[in-house]
Structure 1
Amino acid sequence: MLTRAFQLLDAFTPDRPELTLRELAARAGVPRSTTHRLVGELLAWGALERGPRGVRLGVKLFELGALAPTPNRLVAGASAHLHALREVTGLTANLAIREGGHLVYLDKIGARDLRVPHSRLGGRGALHATALGKAILAFSPQPDVDELLAHPLAALTRATITDPDALRTELARVRRAGAAYDLAESFDGLFCVAAPVRDRRGAAVAALSVTGATARAQAERFAPAVIATARTLERELDPGRRIAT
């Protein structure tokens, strides 16, 4: 029953933040009678609240999320660096972690004259189609990469890498360069350059990036700043450690 409650909570999306019981049951794939009963329990607990036309996620979930130590520590440590990256590059700066088969945006510092519509706080992105995701994958355990590549890779744009062998080659390039690129692979007209934030074993625990609208030659100019920022954040999160290579 707990699984079905999570299915209900996971049915809400940025474009559908409020749902009727009928819509919620259909989107979650949960029988309507079960949905009705679980919604009552979730409302009583505070995970859901009533809206003008249905139900929506409640403040209790925000309170619990604020207690998650790893994301909060990353956001607190990275905040000043993301603002600095935004000021230096004039681009949108992002921080993300891996969550299962997706990446989750923990922080986003928007540029004044550039709207990045496909990222939002708490939003998800495709690991294989984003610079942030590729930066994390390139420094992840091989079984995790193999598991991702065992499933079809969705094409988000015409430029998305969907061939597993091509993506393996791309990840090897990321490991050599220390930076990953998304050149209109997740959203037409936008690029992203990202670098991993690694633990002392060299495994990625997060990634940070800048996003803009330009060509690869210009995007590559921002890579040194992104890499240097990631290395600085690594040292601040774990002073005195030496990163495995």
Structure 2
Amino acid sequence: MSDTAIGSIPAASGVSNGSAKLSNGSAKSPHRGSIQSVDRALSLLESLAEAGGEASLTDLSRRTHLNVSTCHHLLSTLVNWGYVAKVPGRRSYALGARVLYLGHACLRQVDLPRRAQAHIDRINQVTGESVHVAVLQADNIITLVKREARHAVRVDSGMLGRNDAPHATATGKAMIAWVPEDQIRRMLPDGLKRFTDKTIVDFDTLIEELRHVRRNGFAMDREEFQPGVICVGAAIRDHAGAVVGAISASTPTMRATEEHLDLMRREVIAATKAMSAELGEPGSLQPIAAVE
């Protein structure tokens, strides 16, 4: 099976009266001290990404909840900087080459997809299950790489790009376990969205769950994001000890015996510890803590 990787990273959508809008239309308050024109320009870039990389002026106005004149002026500035381009022969705009430059510069910082390749291959071969690599970008979980399972019966491993369920996925919990509580609340401005009847929707319960993640060195998603799917994830750290990403493996419940889950856990933790060691994390090869 071939990997799929992402090179440019979409995030949250639009802005109205200085407030960013999530893709479901709900308002997201800007950070204190934010500049409205910058919020709006970034909103246009993200809306272009969500539209598939190209959109008309009127479509962007609708998506961002900004008037056409404001959109036109902001787009003109973004065109001058190379982050947006006018599409020849069509009255529309597209993401510019400068966006690729930023995306590539970001990925080069740790080059996780390339570094993770051998580890993804091993987890996939040993467990036979789907494997994901994700990163924490600002307040968003971004899936960069996925490898499909080798089994005929496999889980729906989801799409590349932004994930709005950090509290309900193994990669999400593996990373936000090390994030301050106020930042977690900011990442989830509308509360803990329920995806299944097993999703954690109480913030105090989530914080306790994340305490176990920190203690045990791995996170579990037991049908919290998708019914019938169980995932194991662990964080990757750099030379400063900061979390730079996570790896997870997913299996359908029909194969989720304790023995198989233990195998997945061992392989995922071994991979993240090896990657952390490659990135220079101090003490990254310490023994795994006992599971609570």
Fold equivalence (TM over 0.5): yes
**Of residues 23, 26, 40 in structure 1, which corresponds to 2:62?**
26
Give the superposition deviation at 1:203.
4.2
**Of residues 225, 242, 245 in structure 1, which corresponds to 2:283?**
242
- CA gap of 1:39–1:138, structure 2 versus 1, over 3 A, is same
- CA gap of 1:10–1:200, structure 2 versus 1, over 3 A, is same
Deviations 1:2-37 (A, max 9, x none): 332111011145575543222211211222111123
Q: Which residue of 2 aligns with 1:140?
A: 179
State the distance in 1 between where 2:280 and 2:247 align: 17
SS of 1:123's equivalent in the other structure is: strand
Where in structure 2 are the equivalents of 1:35-184 lying within 5 Å?
35-43=71-79, 45-49=81-85, 50=87, 54-68=92-106, 71-112=109-150, 113=152, 114=154, 116=156, 118-120=158-160, 122-145=161-184, 147-148=186-187, 152-184=191-223
SS of 2:142's equivalent in the other structure is: strand
- CA gap of 1:214–1:146, structure 2 versus 1, over 3 A, is same
Give the superposition deviation at 1:201.
6.0
- Fraction of identical pairs, as percent: 32
Relative to the length of structure 2, the TM-score reads 0.71
- Count matched residues: 243
Give the superposition deviation at 1:137.
1.7
Deviations 1:206-230 (A, max 9, x none): 2111123225534343111101111
Q: CA RMSD in A?
A: 3.0
Letter of the 1:34 counterpart: T
Letter of the 1:231 counterpart: K
Gaps of 5+ in 1: none
Gaps of 5+ in 2: 1-36
- CA gap of 1:188–1:139, structure 2 versus 1, over 3 A, is same
Q: Which runs of 4+ in 1 moved over 6 A?
A: none
Query: Quick check: which one's helix share is greater?
Result: 1
Matched, 1:221 2:263: yes
- CA gap of 1:172–1:11, structure 2 versus 1, over 3 A, is same
Relative to the length of structure 1, the TM-score reads 0.83
Give the superposition deviation at 1:131.
0.6
Q: Confirm or deny: 8 A CA contact 2:177 2:210 kept in the other structure.
A: yes
Matched, 1:205 2:250: no
SS of 1:35's equivalent in the other structure is: helix
Letter of the 2:125 counterpart: E
SS of 1:116's equivalent in the other structure is: coil
Letter of the 2:283 counterpart: R
Q: Which residue of 2 aligns with 1:195?
A: 234
